[in-house]
Each structure stands twice: as C-alpha cells, then as structure tokens.
Amino acid sequence: MSTSVVLNQAVKRYGEVEVIHGIDLNIDPGEFTVFVGPSGCGKSTLLRMIAGLEPISGGDLLIDGARMNEVPAAKRGIAMVFQSYALYPHMSVYQNLAFGLETAKVPKAEIQQRVAQAAEILRIEPLLKRKPKQLSGGQRQRVAIGRAIVREPKIFLFDEPLSNLDAELRVQMRVEIAKLHKDLGNTMIYVTHDQVEAMTMADKIVVLQAGIIEQVGAPLDLYNNPKNRFVAGFIGSPKMNFLDATVQGSDAAGAKLRAGGSDIVVQRKIATGDKVTFGVRPEHIALSEAAGVKLAEVKVDLVEQLGGQTMVYATTDDSQPLIIAVDGQRQVDLGSRLTTYVDPARYHVFGADGRAI
C-alpha cells in the first residue's frame, strides 16, 4: 500500500553551480527517512526536488517505480509541511485544511468529513474557526500537518517542521509525528539539522554533506559504525572526541598509536608512520581500569553536573581537548589529573582521508 522513492544519480544545478552531486538513494515503502546534515548541505534542495518544487537537473526520480522528473508537483501524490508552516493568513483553519481538497474538486460533504477526521487526529477541532494568527506556534504546526493529512498523500515531506518551536514543544511534536507515522504508515521524508531528531524519529538516516551522501543507515548503525569521521562527529551528542595520532609501530596484534601523550594499541592494520585520528565518544570513556585499555592522562578544565551525568572537559598532555561523560554524579576537582580508559570495542580509527579503518 505504501510508496517507495528512488533517486538515481540525482543532480541539481543552479546555473553553473552544482549543489547536489549525483545522489543514489532507495527509500522503502512506509519508511520514515530523515535527511540530516549541516546548514547548506542540500537537504531542502533534495526534498524540494522530490516534491517537484525544484526541477531535477540530472538523473531520475522514481516514485513507486514510475519516473516522476517531469510530473508536476500536484500529481506526485505528495504533501509537504513547511518550516514556516505556509498557512494562508486570511483563511480560517478550516479553510486552510479544505483549500487543497476544494482545489481538487472533492465534494463538500467529503471535505467536511476529511477535515473533521484530520482535526480529530491532531486535536485541533476547537480551533477550526480561528485564523492562523490566533494560534500558538505549536497549534500552527498542527494545522500545517493537518493540511498535509487531509489530502491523503502517498508521501509526506517535512522540511525542518519543528525548528520554530521551543525545546519542550519540539520534543512533544517529535513524539506526535512519530506516532502519526505509526498510525498512518505512509512513507515520510523528514529534513532536519538536529541529529537528536534524526536519531529518535528515523527508520533510516541519510547524512548529507556538501551535496553528497556520506552514509545511509539505521540510527544505531550510524552511531556504532560511522563510515567516516564526518558521520562520526555529526551523529551522537555530545560529539565524539577526535585525537590526532601517529602510528608508532604495527604487528599482527595491531598498531601502536601515540595519542593524547600516551600509547594505545588498537586492533587495526595500519602502516607505521601514518597519521590517523583516534575517535571515541565521551560516554565510552571511563575513569576506572575495569572498563578497558588505558587511553590517556588528562588535566580537568571544567566540570558540568547534569544530574544524571557528569561532563568533564579535560586536556591531554599534548594539549588536545577530551570530553568525558561519566554516569551519575561524580565529584571531580578542577585542575586534577585523571587517567582515562576506553573499551576496545568502542573506539574508532580514521585514516588521513577521514575514512574509518
């Protein structure tokens, strides 16, 4: 019943400038896919190409196997929720929801029934007579989603729909959109630059940078096995620590790295003398030997007590910053020296080209 979306070597050019460089992507029916990446990486552009708001300069877009490049936006069976909501300010909420159906010449009785149904799902029934300016940000967001729902599209597209909401509401709406996806079962594509949103909502995350795909995968897949340094740094919060390291020697057991002023043996095959990056997430660093192998001696610069977690900002002997997240409330003195340990299964090594080794 649900719908697949496929991109083959999709390219977008604005005049001379190419901003999307040949993207291949498979989105399975019913999947919740999140495009994530830093500002300007082309998330919105890619979404708008799928929507039909931007012409595709090269390659193919297939929806349910049919080529859609030249099909007008309204005929692609998609609905889109805009970051700005794009509600019509002069129409009531009801009229906003009904506009698309009226355009499609749906009979009046059916419009009423479909609007009522969407309003019930989103709990905006009491607001139907109001104008958008009489709504709060969260309510406007619901109306914008309602406008997509009433059209019963095959695919929902969201472009940073929550970025205008405050933190609390954002979490709440995030849950609601996820629930909506579960209830409706449609294919949904969601753009955000917030990696927490991506991690919590997605079946599949597409990490973009500068118009190319860095990695595609399930949230935990990206967290556990980032293919490169960019993805490793982008996914996960707080960010992964990166220590510059040199390979001192290498044998069958692994390579000996000099990182953070001390030596650590990693089970990788790397040539002696290579410059590499040693990556480890703050939550995978421990302060007791039981956790694994010794990483480095550090000096404590700053401590943040978050209640459930203690964040320690420290510097290694060769002046590289290292963030450590310790569970629970731990008393750590500023300026004190700590010895850090790391679980051998949970560190990452990246070559000079940024690729994971």
Ligand X SMILES: Nc1ncnc2c1ncn2[C@@H]1O[C@H](COP(=O)(O)OP(=O)(O)OP(=O)(O)O)[C@@H](O)[C@H]1O
Annotate 271-282 with DSSP letters as a single string: -TT-EEEEEE-G
Q: How far apart are CA 299 and CA 317, in angstroms?
A: 8
Residues with Cβ within 8 Å of 301's Cβ and at least 6 positions away in sequence, in order, are: 313, 314, 315, 334
Report the nearest approach of Mg ion to the CB of residue 42 (Å).
9
* Footprint on residues 45-104 left by ligand X (CB under 6 A): 45
Hey, CA dihedral for 109, 113, 119, 125, is it positive or negative? positive
Q: Which stretch binds another protein (CB under 8 A): 2-10, 35-43, 80-88, 245-253?
A: 80-88
| Position 5, amino acid | V
Q: Which residue is nearest to ligand X (CB)?
A: 44
Element (H, E) at 96: helix 93-103
| By the rule CB under 6 A, 43 interacts with ligand X | yes
* Footprint on residues 53-72 left by another protein (CB under 8 A): 53, 72
Which residue, 40 or 249, is less far from Mg ion as judged by CB?
40
Report the nearest approach of another protein to the CB of residue 45 (Å).
13
Residue 74 binds which one of ligand X, another protein, Mg ion, none, with CB within 5 to 8 A depending on kind?
another protein
Residue 141 binds which one of ligand X, Mg ion, another protein, none, with CB within 5 to 8 A depending on kind?
none
Structure tokens that stand for 344 in this block: 């051998």
Which residue, 134 or 272, is less far from another protein as judged by CB?
134
Which residue, 82 or 313, is less far from another protein as judged by CB?
82
Structure tokens that stand for 82 in this block: 């805009």
- In 3D space, the residue among 151, 145, 138, 144 whose CA is nearest the CA of residue 91 turns out to be 144
Which residue, 98 or 298, is less far from another protein as judged by CB?
98
Place of tokens 């794009």: 86
Q: Which stretch binds ligand X (CB under 6 A): 14-22, 72-80, 100-108, 296-304?
A: 14-22
| By the rule CB under 8 A, 140 interacts with another protein | no
Residue 331 binds which one of ligand X, another protein, Mg ion, none, with CB within 5 to 8 A depending on kind?
none
Place of tokens 């009226």: 102
Cα torsion for 124, 130, 132, 136, to the nearest 10°?
-60
> What does each C-alpha distance from 35 to 197, 198, 318 come to in angstroms?
10, 8, 37
Q: How far apart are CA 286 and CA 292, in angstroms?
A: 8
- Contact residues toward Mg ion (CB under 5 A) are 44
Q: How far apart are CA 161 and CA 314, in angstroms?
A: 37
Which residue, 41 or 173, is less far from ligand X as judged by CB?
41
Which residue, 157 or 356, is less far from ligand X as judged by CB?
157
Which residue, 45 or 277, is less far from another protein as judged by CB?
45
Q: How far apart are CA 41 and CA 206, in angstroms?
A: 12
The residues of the shown chain that bind another protein, judged by CB under 8 A, are 51-53, 72-75, 78-80, 82, 84, 86, 88-90, 99-100, 103-104, 132-133, 147, 151
The residues of the shown chain that bind ligand X, judged by CB under 6 A, are 14, 17, 19, 37, 39-45, 193
